[in-house]
Structure 1
């Protein structure tokens, strides 16, 4: 199938498919007599897998690893499970950091709503805590 057909069926673009090829995620396709890329129909599942893996937050490097294991004839699920666990831990850490940032911003927003700009000293009294009196 031609690149446009594969892109349409996979819900992506021809540019994305060429990018996947350049990144080593897709094998070089055969060519038609007129030089157009000619993809086998079974490549559709691979493209959909790549998109699903990206949606799950895996990097192209990680996706390439999974594909290499599968292309080598082995089931990649154990490796994929470890990658997913690592990604989940990263996301949970980031959520914790974002919750801390949210708390700080709520505190600052409260301070901003009560501060008279005429009383502002230093860089910014909203962000910078007032100096302790000696």
Structure 2
């Protein structure tokens, strides 16, 4: 009957215990696959190192080429300033002697100013590239 008096029931005493034993019968592929994974990881690291080395070499070559071009521009700009200055002096003498016009004098002065501006830009470009090079080789911190 359903009296729900569980304390009065006769319960069967049972117990259970378990033991699990795993014996690998074949694990040859596991060890071989792990060795292959390590070998592939080593090859990948070697390829990454080579790629980084090539990338750094290309960056260095690019910086050196850019710096060389900037230096040549600065030298050319300096020579141009000298020629523009000489042109200004000639225009000034011509103007003072009455052989030249004010327009010629102003044009030569403008050419001199423009050449000085170009020289400053070229020198700035060279110094900027030099700073990049020094930072690249580790002589100068950011």
TM-score, normalised relative to structure 2:
0.32
Higher helix share: 2
Structure with higher RCO (Cα < 8 A, 6+ apart): 2
Larger Rg: 2
